[in-house]
A and B are shown apart, each in its own frame.
Chain A
Amino acid sequence: MASPAYSQISVQLPQTSLLRDSRWYSVSHLSVKERIDKKRKAALIGGGQKRIDAQHKRGKLTARERVELLLDPDSFVETDMFVEHRCSDFGMEQDRNKFPGDSVVTGRGRINGRLVYVFSQDFTVFGGSLSGAHAQKICKIMDQAMTVGAPVIGLNDSGGARIQEGVESLAGYADIFLRNVMASGVVPQISLIMGPCAGGAVYSPALTDFTFMVKDTSYLFITGPDVVKSVTNEDVTQEELGGAKTHTSVSGVAHHAFENDVEALLNLREFFNFLECHDPSDRLVPSLDTIVPFESTKAYDMLDIIQAIVDEREFFEIMPNYAKNIVVGFARMNGRTVGIVGNQPKVASGCLDINSSVKGARFVRFCDAFNIPIITFVDVPGFLPGTAQEYGGIIRHGAKLLFAFAEATVPKITIITRKAYGGAYDVMSSKHLRGDVNYAWPSAEVAVMGAKGAVQIIFRGKDNQAEAEAEYVEKFANPFPAAVRGFVDDIIEPSTTRRKICRDLDVLASKKQVNPWKKHANIPL
């Protein structure tokens, strides 16, 4: 399971230990106190100064430095500082191989006053490898987080399983996975990958709500380059195989990547931070009146619309480099956190394809799970046609987005900025999927398909195609067909969009909607 390249680290044992002499202490009260102090001190320097220096040399911070930077000053309350591993094979029982706290720092703290549980794997102790004790510590804080309903943040920096512990280590992983699953949808879970994370270990981040990475120093893969080489004879670097770039732009495994440890932790604080601000809710946005080009084939940037509408132009985009034809992320409207989903006309005309459907669906489900209202901006020409998509299962994957929007019971507000064609119109949080408020801009066109294609079908074999096309455009390339049927609630001036959304969110704050009771739904995975 674990990549041999990383597991090797765990057998290079430290040469010195502050605890070498611990067995000579008596049980008298005074010496217990001394032992406590000594253990605490030892816990604070983890694998020792030499390894800390090595960690710094790699451009990485230590587990404790990370926690300190992530949390509000003096807010960290540590648990299980005295836990040690229980392995007695391969000389592991020796005192010099025991480290108080083992290879992970766990506890709780606050980010801008908000309670959060956190674990931070310590690469300086056995390469951050996961022992039974290590797993037990993580499980403990996850259980506590679930009891009180606080988010869990994992700072991953681990070489993999503790090979000396064998199946106990594997059991530890499974214990964590189970808790990840149980906590899913109950408390937000965030993983920040700050070093290697290989083998089975990758599934814990994969099960959490958001996975962030640090560029150049973090890797996520099932098997490392050495194993890849020996199995498939493929030459690949760590960075190419599972670096931040790969996972944020190609595989879609990670949701964001940051330049280095410090920036990653500061941005993680920001991510937690969708809070109050003073941007007036009745602000008009005149620039929106001209944003949609007259030619319906011309692109514009959906991010321009989103940034102009949300508070302080602040938009935390999730997966900005993956499936760019759909934009998802968090913002605030009048101080309240909202999730935003928008088709991006600038990329592939904003069509829905496999990757964008999955990206959108996962985000919508996160928002629904944590009661975050969803605002959807629609400019979608339809699903992407072609064999690549059909063979890849666009039907199955597109259904996920449809499922997610339909199932969501949080406030749902939809704005059709331009095209809403075909099945994609239905999918994109339409009125029919229990949209609470659906608006159309004057530039909206709601139809089964574009004029050219429609006319070719309706008037097949007829000569006056151009004339028919003009008639079709006149009839359907405007918001009226949807508005007269009540499928959009109103046609609004773009500049008033922010004001309207803010007012609707106020009203919808008390929205109550429940789906029929079920064990769980069967989303088409």
Chain B
Amino acid sequence: MAAHSLSPSLYRLLFAVKYASLHSRCCAVHKKAQYSTIYNPSEKTFEKILIANRGEIACRVIKTCKKMGIKTVAVHSDVDSSAVHAKMADEAVCVGPAPTSKSYLNMDAIMDAIRTTGAQAVHPGYGFLSENKEFAKRLAAEGVTFIGPDTHAIQAMGDKIESKLIAKAAKVNTIPGFDGVVKTAEEAVKIAQDIGYPVMIKASAGGGGKGMRIAWNDEETREGFRFSSQEAASSFGDDRLLIEKYIDNPRHIEIQVLADKHGNALWLNERECSIQRRNQKVVEEAPSTFLDSVTRQAMGEQAVQLAKAVQYSSAGTVEFLVDSKKNFYFLEMNTRLQVEHPITECITGLDLVEQMIRVAKGYRLQHKQEDIPINGWAIESRVYAEDPYKSFGLPSIGRLSQYHEPLNLSNVRVDSGIQEGSDISIYYDPMISKLVTYGATRSEALARMEDALDNYVIRGVTHNIPLLREIITHPRFISGDISTNFLPEVYPDGFKGHQLEADTRRELLASAAALYITAQLRSQRFLGELRVSSSPVECNHWELCVELGEQRHVLEITKSGNVYTVEVDGGEVEVSGQWDLASPLLPLTINSTHKMLQCLSRDASGNIVLQYLGTSFQVRVLSKLAAELNSYMPEKVPEDTSSILRSPMPGTMVAVSVKPGDTVAEGQEICVIEAMKMQNSLTAVKQAKRRAATYPAGVPRRTQRTTAHVIRAPRFAGERNPRQAKTGEGGSLLYYMQFLGFRFQVDGFDNMVNLGCS
């Protein structure tokens, strides 16, 4: 709430300070808010560390290195040469062009960088080379320390089957199950009884959830056996069955472990990561609302057993599935620093990167298990550049034209590797930042998260703050009633943004109207003076017509000083604020409650886009006269775009699913575009036939959109082998493909794929 009382100028000063001394400020925040252990500067450590990563995690590691007095080397691709991590490090080495396979995964180049800079150790971050045993081996061969576990542990835990066997041997709970030929229904019942209900029965050969049946008793088991064995034989020609413990409403809870090279291992409590979309975590918290101290201890001890069984050293994470009865089962172990490690740092006070570096240098752990506290509650929201309205998040790209992190609030930590002006490109993960809030209690941390999300200014890319804010304010989330199915269960028809209630709707309308009046009044002034001194007394009562969605409202507004009293839909709303039209933030007091709104855009036609409660709403404000006259304006029919297929983002076309002469039905896949590590299927919007005719070879077809930089790719022979052409124009990729009657065009500016319908 501190933010609301700050004057706008002070507010901006804070931002200015932040940018003027990015490094020092971030470090200061860390020391103050997160770490309770005190770094011992007399302990000898590495002189120089290379960070084989990019983005926020590289910045995160560099911060700790700076604290420890260690020199840092960043590696970067050519497009990342002005990225924050490259600027933060003492030295930066370019390791190749943008695609990760040629830069951040390019071991040769990274080894060269290590040699030329004389780095003694490498921190791999997460992703990229962090769990690559080949990389660890090559480092070892050159006498460079890998800050992470040794190759044995990486290998053992990297294999899904082997890791389960090791876990079983280490007396870690694994999902009980049977995989083999089951002769009779009674045999199946016996196996099911051994495992304990509920069980899941399916054909071993069937992939995913196909043909899966869930049995809660003997009778259902018999039935399930009958169906599944039939299906196994008929569909797959393989009559093996898989009977496994079925975990209903599973929660994803993981234990952070920390081990040294002297056989000591600790568990640093759990992180609950159940809120996921497409198996990717969105919101995490520590501790979990679900675990009691007994379960926590049991899970922690098993995690340590596993770590010891593979002689684990460094930080690692043991992931468990937990069912509704608090039974937990080992899933896998991640032999690296996790994305969501900050929340563990918040509640334990440990700097995990510092501990990893100490362990790698060969020191013993400083802490004993009983020294590991749970102090308060921490929540992490992953802020992504993606559109939450499309399957809970489809990546978007762009340039951050405005970007302010909510660091003016206390107990907020933002781990990011970008700044105002940075590009979110198609080459890398679309994560903008990890927004962590911390509080003595969960509700305190949640309230702070609401504030932080409302104060977070991101312009230029679509982001998932609407979804994040809805999740953390959802009654089910607040009560802790979550599972990995949370998103599909809560939003079965997809995420639609915040749904306004009658009172919040009134508040939004009133705020928009007050903002409109403020802008109107401002227009009558010139350099602080009223334009016409002779004009009558300033008007202080207005009647406006405001449209929101399909509905129109008539508002009556009275102004006195900075306070607007708005009558809307029979209710009265009082809105006041500083009304700084230049600031992206709009701190308002609505009916004596502080609310942070954001003005995303405002135009002369009365369109105002406000971000309220995380979601952006388009409102149209018109004077009564303009609204009246507007009713004479014709509705314009939008252009028919059904013959245009629009790629959601620039990318590479990896497959074309339609042959010449084929007729595609509505909804049928036409081609697949790969971008941002995702394959996007583009489907036909209406029935169409692919033209059989070919364009004459050698005649470049230009369209207005691609100006002079079109490069024609030769007609390609097979659907699996598209040729691509790339230009540097516009800092964008431009793939122009032409083949057999289809014209596909994907470019960086308008992401068009034209589908010639005939």
Contact = CB atoms under 8 A, between A and B. Distances in A.
A275 B604 contact: no
B602 to A, nearest CB: 9
Interface residues on B, range: 35 or more
B629 A65 contact: yes
B581 A312 contact: yes
A239 B576 CA distance: 48
Contacts of B419: 286
B525 A56 contact: no
Interface stretch (A26-34, A92-100, A255-263, A453-461): A255-263
B355 to A, nearest CB: 34
Given A261-B629, A266-B606, A294 B582 contact: no
A312 B9 CA distance: 15
Contact of A278 (B82, B526, B581): B581
Contacts of A293: 731
B634 interface: yes
Given A260-B633, A277-B522, A298-B731, A266 B626 contact: yes
A260 to B, nearest CB: 4
A298 B728 contact: yes
Nearest to B82: A290
Given A266-B606, A278-B580, A297-B728, A304 B527 contact: no
A304 B604 contact: no
Instruction: Tell me which of A266, A276, A287, A300 has the highest count of chain B C-beta atoms within 10 A of its own C-beta.
Output: A287
Nearest to B633: A260
A348 interface: yes
Contacts of B630: 262
B531 A287 contact: no
Interface of B is mostly: loop
Contacts, number: 124
Nearest to A259: B636
Interface stretch (B141-149, B196-204, B289-297, B394-402): B394-402
A59 B633 contact: yes
A267 B531 contact: no
Given A113-B531, A261-B633, A312 B582 contact: yes
A278 B606 CA distance: 20
Interface in A264-306: 266-267, 269-271, 273, 275-280, 283-284, 286-291, 293-295, 297-300, 304
Interface string B490-526: 0000000000000000000000000000000011111
B399 A114 contact: no
A276 B528 contact: yes
A286 B421 contact: yes
A276 B525 contact: yes
Contacts of B636: 216, 259-260
A513 B400 CA distance: 41
Interface in A295-354: 295, 297-300, 304, 307-308, 311-312, 335-336, 346-348
Interface string A207-224: 000000000100000000
Contacts of B82: 290, 294
Contacts of A266: 604-606, 626
A348 B528 contact: no
A61 interface: yes
B534 to A, nearest CB: 10
Given A269-B604, A278-B580, A295-B728, A288 B528 contact: no
B707 interface: yes
Contacts of A51: none
A289 B402 CA distance: 13
Given A69-B626, A260-B634, A284 B16 contact: yes
Contacts of B532: 110, 113-115
Nearest to A294: B81
B535 A113 contact: yes
A112 interface: yes
A270 B626 CA distance: 14
Contacts of B216: none
Contacts of B528: 276
A277 B582 contact: yes
A407 interface: no
A267 B605 contact: yes
A68 interface: yes
B729 interface: yes
B647 interface: no
Nearest to A214: B633
Contacts of B12: 280, 283
A271 to B, nearest CB: 8
Contacts of A261: 629, 632-633
A287 B632 contact: no
B19 A276 contact: no
B580 A267 contact: no
B395 to A, nearest CB: 21
Nearest to A53: B632
Interface string B622-636: 100110011011101
B633 A262 contact: yes
Nearest to B607: A263
Given A115-B532, A273-B523, A287-B401, 5 more contacts: A110-B531, A259-B605, A262-B630, A280-B9, A295-B728
Interface of A: 56, 59-61, 65, 68-69, 73, 110, 112-115, 216, 259-263, 266-267, 269-271, 273, 275-280, 283-284, 286-291, 293-295, 297-300, 304, 307-308, 311-312, 335-336, 346-348
23 contacts: A60-B632, A61-B629, A69-B625, A69-B629, A110-B535, A216-B636, A259-B636, A262-B629, A263-B605, A266-B626, A267-B605, A275-B526, A276-B522, A276-B525, A278-B580, A278-B582, A283-B12, A287-B402, A287-B403, A287-B421, A291-B421, A299-B731, A347-B707
A-B CB proximity, top 7 nearest: A113-B531, A287-B421, A270-B604, A279-B582, A59-B634, A290-B421, A287-B420
